[in-house]
Structure 1
Amino acid sequence: MRTFKLFLAIAMLVSSVSTMAAYKIDRLEPAFWWAGMENENLQILVYGEGISELRPSIDYPGVSLEQTVQVKSPNYLFLYLKVDKSAKAGSFDILFKRNNKTMVKYNYELKQRVAGSASRQGYDNSDVMYLITPDRFVNGDTSNDEVEGLKEGLDRADDFGRHGGDLAGIMQSLDYIEDMGYTTLWLNPVMENDMPEGSYHGYAITDFYETDARHGSNEDYVQLSKELKKRNMKLVIDMIMNHCGSHHWWMEDLPTDDWLNFQDGWQVTTHLRETNMDPYASEYDKRNHADGWFVESMPDLNQRNPLMADYLIYNTIWWIEYADLDGIRMDTYPYPDKAFMSEWTRRVMEEYPNFNIVGEEWSSNPAIVSYWQKDKINADGYVSYMPGVFDFPLQDALVKALNEDDSQWGQGLPKLYATLADDHLYADPTQLVIFPDNHDMSRFYTQINEDFGMFKMGMAFTAVCRGIPQIYYGTEILMTNPNSDSHGEIRAEYPGGWDDHTANAFTGEGLTADQKEAQTFTKILLNWRKGCSAVHDGCLKHFAPNHANGLYTLFRYDDKSVVMLVMNKNSEANDVNILPFKVEVIGAATEGVDVITGNNVSLAGETVKVEGRSFLLVEIKK
């Protein structure tokens, strides 16, 4: 009998151990949170085999488990917590029980928020963004070129392959970036893209909480943010709410039947972004735009599923808090569910009222772009909380203004004037991000047919115009894509970023005379812009180009200075009549300073001379 009891006790112990071993948590996201957040709610995704069979519990002052959501897949639980403002930083166990026995426990941490986190200041009009495709900028750590377990290795011979650029390379280049006059970094996504091929760009995310190991680690990303803060510089994260990568970890076991749009059989988006504001649009067309996939390798996320919506919102806030971010660039803004995007922007700005976000709406029509900006009164009542949008209409107009023959009505510089005149459509045109090019289009120097004079004119306009300038890496050294408009060529390696390069933009070695001049020119322009409040927040006034005269003048001014930009597309020098300018802007000033040369410019007469195929940029101190 004693032997039987002993056997039974051992059997029960083995059974208990086996039960304990049967459950484990493979993922819990977010893995930690913070005490004292503005919004007291928190969603936690828990993933592990059979985890839905367990019942979670929490015992910690100020933290309560409000709801546990089971879904179709038995391997998920979604926990909704309330973290009261009285909750203190510390850690607690989340216990997962079955029949009142603890099967699994997870030690969860509430971190202490950094002082001033909630009132963080986002990027603003005093900043200039430097856009970098990390894989193509600088390879600072060759040890992560190949990472065991990730599907795609190094292949520099392939324009669409991994080339090895990383966060270490960016950190090693901060002296150069700061010296050039850039104040803010926007990196194409650095989150994990564990795809079989073509994932160097970062837009096919396979883990929303992990930095891609070929770029570095989460700790490296945080360190980059810290290094930037030491220099009074800022970091903008590139996010995607619309889609993930087809090899995202959840794709083998989707939580619900509606986790994705067209989950039973994908179809490509129509790209009809106009359906978002079209008063006559059919529901059929709306759905095929918003729910369609970009490509088969980028499944379209269904933000109408409240679990998915919350997952994306908390992931966004986690990254802002974790990495001490200064802004978000939101990819493909008009493609996700637009009601969700309204709520997403509201929640982010509720948590960080002084933060900044810019959305990508790639349209040359300002009526479409302006729809998404905060405080825009839309005919359909749609409300957005996003401070800024990318000014694609102005980018398009700038290239046409520099390329087109001004003798044709409405072309050339008049096109630029007319596009700025459309600013009445925006709730706040000063919050637009303006740019000569980006990672998705041909290089600016290629777009303007490698005309060096037009390059300088375009860069000067970008530095002076209202809005927040963004410059793509390599634009400052005239990088081109002469052979094709392939993204792989557009996102070429930055000269000097690899040891085998014969040219080096960091030292000037191997650059052409024009490249060196363009680099010096950009450096002068951007460093001047840093200290000129008139081009940050000053008023704008422009004087319309007379038909076919090839001249356009734009002013920025505040109580400290007046900035005058005169653009001359004519082959010959022009004496520009400044009497109208004196009446409305310049006043009694008789002298200014040429921003580029540092020479004095007389304003005592009736005209100023502007060289052919060039510009004059003058600052007049008050």
Structure 2
Amino acid sequence: MKTLKQIFLILMVVSVFSCKETTLVEKIVPETITEIRNDIEKVEPPNWWIGFKNQDVQLLVKHPNIGKATAKISYAGVSLKKSHQADSPNYLFLDVVISETAKAGQFNITFQLEDGSELLQTYELKSREKSAEDYIGFDSSDAIYLITPDRFANANPDNDEVEGLLQQGIDRTDDYARHGGDIQGIIENLDYIEDLGFTTVWPCPVLINDMPSGSYHGYAMTDFYKVDPRFGTIDEYKELADDLRSRNMKLIMDQVANHCGLYHWWMEDLPFNDWVNDQENYEENIDNWDWKVTKTSNHRRTTNQDPYTSKIDNKEMADGWFVSSMPDLNQRNPFMANYIIQNSIWWVETLGLGGIRQDTYPYPDKAFMSNWAGAIMNEYPNFSIVGEEWSYNPLLIGYWQDGKKNKDGYDSNLKSTMDFAMQKHIVDALNEEESWDQGLVKMYEGLANDFAYTSPKGIMAFLDNHDKSRVFTEFNGDVTNTKMALSYLLMLPRIPQIYYGTEILMDDFDNPGDHGLIRTDFPGGWQGDTVNTFTGEGLTADQKDMQSYLKKLLNYRKNSKAIHAGKTIHFAPQDGIYILARIGGNETVVHIINKNENPLELDLERFEELELNGKTLKNIISDETLIWNSSITLDEKGSVILTTKIN
């Protein structure tokens, strides 16, 4: 039996440990709230994270007559720095600071209204799922598969029509109607995409486009934080990203900083008088806006670089609306600027993205775009962003790439731009008859323009996309030219992007360049399709051959460091033959383009600097080997891709 003294000592020890345990719990468990309420109509971003380099986040609060409310936050490590009233009484902007001591958890923001009433909004801070350095962007080791989601695969017919949206129903006979493709359709066919040899998927935007027409393409967003329910849910979007990561593949998100859709939720009650460009003119001319917008927009993108540009040309370019149904966002408004930057970061973090493709890159305020890209790259140093610069002038393409020593001192902070110039060089080179200034020399001299780029291998090259005519159409149905173009694209010091359906020779012959036709349904993506690309059922011999050809090239490229980052040497075209080599490590890859219809012997003496004499090379497509000696026989028109990597 224990004495009273022993019992007292035991109670003391228990008390000490109990106190220590309580203190420990208090240190690791974030503050909790007793009441979860969501009284406010809209708060964006809808949540945020701890652990960013930039500790500031600005919340957009939308609610009737919230503008003069007094906001309060009581949560350890989080402070309300400042409140900003907008021009509309229905908005309040809150500058919130999230310090290093803040923990993940929920807290309430209290809004004291002028009439003495009180509203509560529960807000959540999340822990980040991985470190900023682990967000690895796309690069020249990747091959990107571009998809128009509405036209790829319809895995869930139940979401084809959503009650309450302005555009209803699907009509696959109408190239400009919705056809029903969705996110789940991409998820269910990732095996196909991976098997082809792609490492990255870029879907056109899947955020909601609640527009009365043309809502299928995704570029007229009406809510920057909401997935279009006809494409699926945010959970399915996350599933797509997660599934790609599990395959060591990446997801690129297509974003738009330049404009929104005319039916965006804020267009009925704009926060500030300068929230969108030309706002006063728009509000005064709503009934005649289709005509009016053409008088205030010029689309002259060279005003961004032109040392002689007039003020009016520059203004009409920067402030003009892209089209009358897409309001031009005013990034010079600091609240709009914060909104766009935070939205991009929110999606990077929410989806664990492997990159962003920014639409219409030269159209927004260029100082803002530098800040936008800089803010993202500051948080994610290994990330990648590509901007669309639809120009055939390498000087304009190069201007936007990070590190370019521009005369005006501008640095975009942008890793990659899109190589429209190379696309045109390849098409022209293979379509033209050979002469001293036509034909293959267009490709040769096009690649020679790489001196204009800070990092050529950081540029995204392509043959067709969702805005340009199908490459098979551009080659007038010539399969051999299409193969030569694709093989050249995949051997370049570039990041290659290939549009869905190129692998089966999809075309737009009926109306070349028509956007609705370019974005034709992918055969096999709909129940009942008589042709199925995924299984091969119903494909022609040429389609199966092209599919196999591209698969062989892509899967070889996936493991070739010489192609990813090797030295590039090319030789001026002679007699209808153009040779490009990639050299890296223990591998040399030689790409031969031959436009001659009849067999010929190619003298190899001219290519002595490649140091291949006497070496055995393997044909990547046929797996046949040859000895590189004095000459080789080229049996027919087309590409020959040889490698010193035999095994």
Q: TM class, shorter-chain normalised?
A: over 0.9
Question: Which one of the candidate residues 141, 144, 147 is aligned to 2:159?
Answer: 144
User: Residues 361 and 389 of structure 2 are in contact (CA less than 8 Å); yes or no, is this contact kept in structure 1?
Assistant: yes
| SS, match of residue 618 in structure 1 | strand
The Cα RMSD (Å) is 1.3
Q: 2:617 aligns with which of 564, 568, 592?
A: 592
1:421 is matched with: 448
**Matching of residue 450 in structure 1 with residue 466 in structure 2:** no
User: Partners in 2 of 1:118 and 1:259 — Cα distance?
Assistant: 34
User: Is the Cα contact below 8 Å between 2:39 and 2:121 reproduced in 1?
Assistant: no
Match of 1:48 among 49, 59, 63: 63
**2:150 maps to what in 1?**
135
Structure 1 residues without counterparts, runs of 5 or longer: 1-22
Confirm whether residue 430 of structure 1 aligns to residue 457 of structure 2. Answer: yes
Corresponding residue to 2:219 among 203, 210, 217: 203
Q: Which moved more, 1:101-110 or 1:194-203?
A: 101-110
Which segment drifts farther, 168-177 or 53-62? 53-62
Structure 1 position 477 matched with structure 2 position 504: yes
Spell out, residue by residue over 1:506-561, the C-alpha distance to the aligned partner (whole angstroms, 9 max, x if none). 11111111001000111111011111111001111100113xx1110000011120
Alignment-mate amino acid for residue 175 of structure 1: D
SS at match of 1:545: strand
Amino acid of the structure 1 residue aligned with 2:533: A
Match for 1:292 among 320, 326, 351?
Answer: 320
1:607 has 2:631 as partner:
yes
Residue from 385, 398, 401 that aligns with 1:357: 385
Deviation at 1:589, TM superposition (A): 4.5
Query: Quick check: 1:562–1:586 contact (8 Å CA) kept in 2?
Result: no
Which residue is equivalent to 2:8?
Answer: none
Residue from 386, 393, 399 that aligns with 2:427? 399
Per-residue deviation, 1:285: 0.4
Please give the alpha-carbon distance, in whole angstroms, between the structure 2 residues aligned to 1:395 and 1:611. Answer: 27
One-letter identity of the residue aligned with 1:189:
P
User: For the residues of structure 1 that align with 2:561 and 2:109, how far apart are their CA atoms?
Assistant: 52
Q: Secondary structure at the match of 2:280?
A: coil
Displacement, 1:118?
4.1
Q: How much does 1:86 deviate?
A: 2.0
Match of 1:9 in 2: none
CA offsets, 1:134-182, max 9 Å, x none? Answer: 0000000000000011111222221100000000100010111110111
**Structure 2 CA distance, aligned partners of 1:142 and 1:589?**
60
State the one-letter code of the partner of 1:617.
I
For residue 439 of structure 1, what is the aligned residue in structure 2?
466
SS, match of residue 563 in structure 1: strand
Structure 1 Cα separation of the partners of residues 613 and 449 of structure 2: 31
Asked if residue 256 in structure 1 is aligned to residue 269 in structure 2, the reply is no
Provide, for residues 406-457 of structure 1, a one-character-per-residue CA deviation record: whole Å limited to 9, x for no partner. Answer: 12x3221101110111111111111001111101011010001111111111
TM-score by length of 2: 0.90
C-alpha distance in 2, partners of 1:587/1:568?
Answer: 20
Output the CA distance in 2 between the equivalents of 1:473 and 1:346.
31
What amino acid sits opposite 2:322 in the alignment?
A: F
Cα deviation, 1:80-124, whole Å, max 9, x if unaligned, reads: 111112211111111111369561111111101012244311111
Q: Distance in 2 between matches of 1:589 and 1:361?
A: 45
Aligned counterparts, 1:285-434, within 5 A: 285-407=313-435, 409-434=436-461
Match of 2:290 in 1: none
2:534 to 481, 492, 506: 506
| Cα separation, 2, equivalents of 1:474 and 1:586 | 39
Distance apart, 1:296 and its partner CA: 1.1
CA-CA distance at 1:301 after TM superposition: 0.5
Contact 1:205/1:248, CA 8 A, preserved across alignment: yes
Q: Distance in 2 between matches of 1:102 and 1:376?
A: 55
Alignment partners' CA distance in 1, 2:438 and 2:71: 66
- Tell me how far apart the structure 1 counterparts of residues 237 and 279 of structure 2 sit (CA, whole Å): 33
Q: How does 1:551-562 map to 2 (within 5 A)?
A: 551-562=577-588
Whether the 8 Å contact between 1:423 and 1:429 is mirrored in structure 2 is yes
Aligned residues: 595
Give the Cα separation in 2 of the matches to 1:601 and 1:95.
77
Name the CA distance, whole Å, in 1 between partners of 2:525 and 2:388. Answer: 28
Q: Specify the alignment match of 1:168 in structure 2.
A: 184
Task: Report the counterpart of residue 20 of structure 2 in structure 1.
Answer: none
Give the aligned residue type for 2:542.
D
Find the aligned partners of 2:602 and 2:386 in 1 and give their Cα distance. 37
- Secondary structure of the 1:49 match is coil
* Cα separation, 2, equivalents of 1:558 and 1:368: 30
Aligned to 1:580: 606
Tell me what 2:28 maps to. Answer: none
CA distance in 2, matches of 1:28, 1:102: 19
Q: Which residue of 1 aligns with 2:251?
A: 235
Deviation string 1:337-387 (CA, Å, 9 cap, x unpaired) is 001001001001001000001110000000011100000010111111000
Q: Structure 2 CA distance, aligned partners of 1:393 and 1:85? A: 46
C-alpha spacing 1:133/1:328, structure 2 compared with 1 (3 Å): same
Q: What TM-score does the superposition give when structure 1 sets the normalisation length?
A: 0.94
Does 606-615 or 502-511 show the bigger shift? 606-615
Deviation at residue 78 of structure 1 after TM alignment: 0.8
Conserved? CA contact 1:566–1:610, under 8 Å: no
Match of 2:489 in 1: 462
